[in-house]
Amino acid sequence: MDDSYRPVKLRKVVIGYPCNENTSNFRFDLSLNYKLSSIIQTYSENKPTLVFCSTRKGTQQAGSTLTKDARFVMNSEHRQRLQRCANSLHDSKLRELVMCGVAYHHAGLDSSDRKSIEAMFTKGELPVLFATSTLAMGVNLPAHLVIIKSTMQYVKGVFEEYAESQILQMTGRAGRPQFDDSATAVIMTKYSNKMKYEAIIGGTQNIESSLHKNLIEHLNAEIVLNTITDVSIALEWLKSTFLYIRILKNPTYYGIPEGLDMDILETKLQEMCVESLNTLRDHGLINMDEGFDLKPTDTGKLMARYCLAFESIKLFLGLQGNEDLNDLVNVVCQCKEFIDLKLRNNEKKVLNTLNKDKNRVTIRFPINGKIKTTEQKISCLLQATLGCLPINEFSLNQDVTKIFRSGQRVSKCLYEFCMLQNNYNLLMNALQLSKCFRSR
**Domains parsed from the chain with CATH numbers:** 3-202 (3.40.50.300), 211-304 (1.10.10.10), 321-439 (1.10.3380.10)
DSSP codes of every residue in 265-323: HHHHHHHHHHHHHHHHHHTTSEEE-TT-BEEE-HHHHHHHHTT--HHHHHHHHT--S--
Q: Which one of 261-275, 367-381, 390-404 scores highest in mean pLDDT? A: 367-381
Instruction: Check pLDDT > 60 for residue 1.
Output: no
Residue 54 CA to residue 226 CA, distance in Å, equals: 43
Q: Give, as one character, the DSSP assignment of residue 440.
A: -
As a whole number of angstroms, the distance between CA 320 and CA 322 comes to 6
Q: Residue 386 has what pLDDT?
A: 93
**pLDDT range class, residue 180, cuts 50, 70, 90:** confident
Strands 286-288 and 294-296: antiparallel
Q: What's the pLDDT band for 311 if we cut at 50, 70, 90? A: very high
In the chain, pLDDT over 90 holds for what percent of residues?
44
Q: Are 224 and 300 in contact (CB under 8 A)?
A: yes
DSSP run (H or E) holding 375: helix 374-386
At 154 the pLDDT is: 72
pLDDT of 157:
61
Mean pLDDT check: name the lowest of 51-55, 121-125, 362-366: 121-125
For range 45-52, the mean pLDDT? 89
Pick the range with the lowest mean pLDDT from 111-125, 127-141, 142-156, 217-231.
Answer: 127-141
Say whether pLDDT at 259 is over 90: no
| pTM of the complete model | 0.70
108-112, 181-185, 430-434: least confidently modelled range: 108-112
Indicate if the pLDDT at residue 312 is higher than 90: yes
Instruction: Please tell me whether residue 251 adopts helix, strand or coil conformation.
Output: helix
**CA–CA separation, 431 and 82 (whole Å):** 53
Residue 162 has pLDDT above 90, yes or no: no
